[in-house]
Structure 1
Amino acid sequence: MITVAVTGATGAQGGATARALLAAGHRVRALTRRPHSPAADVLRDLGARVHHADFDDRTSLDVALSGADSLFAVTTPFGTDTSTETRQGKALIDAATAAHLGHIVLTTAAHADRGTAVPHYESKYLVERYLHTSDVPWTVIAPAAFMDNYGSGWTLDGLRDNTFAWPMPADRPLALIPAADIGAFAALALQRRDQFAGRRIDIASDECTPGQIAEILAAATDRPIAHREVPLAHVRARSADLAAMFEYFTTVGLDVDVAGLRRDFPEVAWHSFADWAAGQDWPAALAPAPGPR
């Protein structure tokens, strides 16, 4: 049994990792800035110990990491900016090094080490490079595009109108992974330190074109969903960062060895996009928002 500190524990990747570790019988310290949130209460009910931790508060990190064996580290620029993400990621690594942890598993992004020029990939890679200079054994897992994004945001808005609006051509493949598989893979790496230390692994569980995604969503939602390509200029007007990411997806693509991952790590129980879509509560997700009374 190991004790793992999990950052972003009330978010998608951290929450999935915490649940996978708890299910395997390990001790989890769920690190969050919102220890009294409903998501934190769920983790408590599952057996995690919830700790307040803020990347900009070194004392809170020192307290939360003291006595832990390992760390699952996730950073994000969303809600702040890329320079903040890099600074906070380095601060977390410094705290983990000072706590003499035995292993850090950092999650970043597939291809972040390939000079993508995507701002939030570049900031994550700066954190990766800093991790390499630490004295703590490390593993970097680098997920492909998140399946979970297809059940929220502008995608969900489009599905309500029977449209899969996505800023890629219908026939361009994209590597995909759900948060549950990221968490399962992270938990595997944390439990097998000797096998994974010093490795950087791009991970994905399926590859689909937007046209195929639309067909799968149509079957899962029982709606006549059709793909519509959103112009990159429309995305760029909202976020230059996301526009750069979709341009990379379209022109270069995410080359991830899905078949090799499924062969080498069957314990993860990888989900296809069809598996993920079939497991969503689409009637609730697609229900119209209640109007004003």
Structure 2
Amino acid sequence: MLTVAVTGATGAQGGATARALLAAGHRVRALTRRPGSPAADTLRGLGADVRHADLDDAASLGAALAGADSLFAVTTPFGTDTDTETRQGKVLVDAAAAARLGHVVFTSAAHADRGTGIPHYESKRLIERHLRAAGVPWTVIAPAAFMDNYAGGWTLDGLRDGTFAWPMPAGLPLTLIPAADIGAFAALVLLRREEFTGQRLDIASDARTPGQIAETLTTALGRPVVHQEVPLDQVRRWSTDLAAMFAYFTTHGLDVDVAGLRRDFPEVGWHSFADWAAAQDWDALSASAPARR
């Protein structure tokens, strides 16, 4: 039985990883800045050991990591900025090395090692480099675009009007993955560290075009949904970072070997976009999120 520390445990990727590890019978230390939050209480109910840890506080990280076997590390610039993400990621890696952990699994982004120029990919690229040099056994998993993003934000706004608003042409494929599959794959990597140490793996569960996504959402919602391409200039006015990401998706794409992953790691239980969409409670999502105009 392993003891795995999980950062971002109350978020999508960390939470999915924590749940997958607990379901497999392992001990989870759920690291969070808000140990009294409802999400933290949910993890406690599942058997996790919830501990306070702050990525800006090396001492809190050292205390939270002491005696753990492994670490699942997730960072984000959203809510702060990419410089903060890079700094926090390096502090986390250094804390893991100081605690002499047996394995660090860092979740990055597909293609982040290719010099994409996307700000929140480049910050992860810097953390990956720091991890490789830290002297701790490591694995990098790099998810493609998140299916879960289609259940919120501007996508959910558009779906109220029967529109799948997305900043890509209708016929260009994009590789996709839900948080549940990221967590399942991360747990697999953590539990089979000898097999995965020193590897970097781009991961995805499916590849769909925006047109196909709209068709799938039509079926899932039970009403017509059509794709509408959002101009990049409109995205850029809101976020230059996300505009750079969608420009990369359009000009380069995210080529991930979905078939190979499904063949080699069937135990992950990879979900297609249709699987994921059918499992969402779209009526509840629409009711819980206020319309933004």
TM-score by length of 1: 0.98
Q: Note the 1:170-181 alignment, pairs <5 A.
A: 170-181=170-181
Q: Percent same amino acid at aligned positions?
A: 77
2:9, 2:171 → 1: CA distance?
A: 36
Q: Note the 1:91-102 alignment, pairs <5 A.
A: 91-102=91-102
Question: Equivalent residue of 2:114, what SS?
Answer: coil
How far the C-alpha of 1:196 sits from its partner, in A, is: 0.3
Distance of aligned partners of 1:290 and 1:165 in 2 relative to their CA distance in 1, 3 Å threshold = closer
Q: Note the 1:178-197 alignment, pairs <5 A.
A: 178-197=178-197
1:134 aligns with 2:138: no
Residue 21 (structure 1) aligns with: 21
Residue 201 (structure 1) aligns with: 201
Residue 269 (structure 2) aligns with: 269
How far the C-alpha of 1:285 sits from its partner, in A, is: 1.1
Q: Note the 1:82-161 alignment, pairs <5 A.
A: 82-161=82-161
Residue 70 (structure 1) aligns with: 70
1:167, 1:57 → 2: CA distance?
A: 38
How far the C-alpha of 1:288 sits from its partner, in A, is: 7.2
How far the C-alpha of 1:287 sits from its partner, in A, is: 2.6
1:30 aligns with 2:22: no
Residue 235 (structure 2) aligns with: 235
Residue 49 (structure 2) aligns with: 49
Name structure 2 gaps, 5 residues minimum: none
Residue 220 (structure 1) aligns with: 220
Residue 39 (structure 1) aligns with: 39
Pairs aligned (count): 291
2:128, 2:59 → 1: CA distance?
A: 23
1:115, 1:72 → 2: CA distance?
A: 24
2:38, 2:217 → 1: CA distance?
A: 29
How far the C-alpha of 1:124 sits from its partner, in A, is: 0.3
Distance of aligned partners of 1:209 and 1:29 in 2 relative to their CA distance in 1, 3 Å threshold = same
Distance of aligned partners of 1:74 and 1:289 in 2 relative to their CA distance in 1, 3 Å threshold = closer
2:189, 2:289 → 1: CA distance?
A: 40
Paired AA for residue 74 in structure 2: V
1:58, 1:263 → 2: CA distance?
A: 40
1:16-75 superposed Cα distances (whole Å, 9 cap, x missing partner): 000000000000000000100000000000000000000111111011000000000000
1:131-167 superposed Cα distances (whole Å, 9 cap, x missing partner): 0001110000000000000000000000001000000
1:88, 1:36 → 2: CA distance?
A: 22
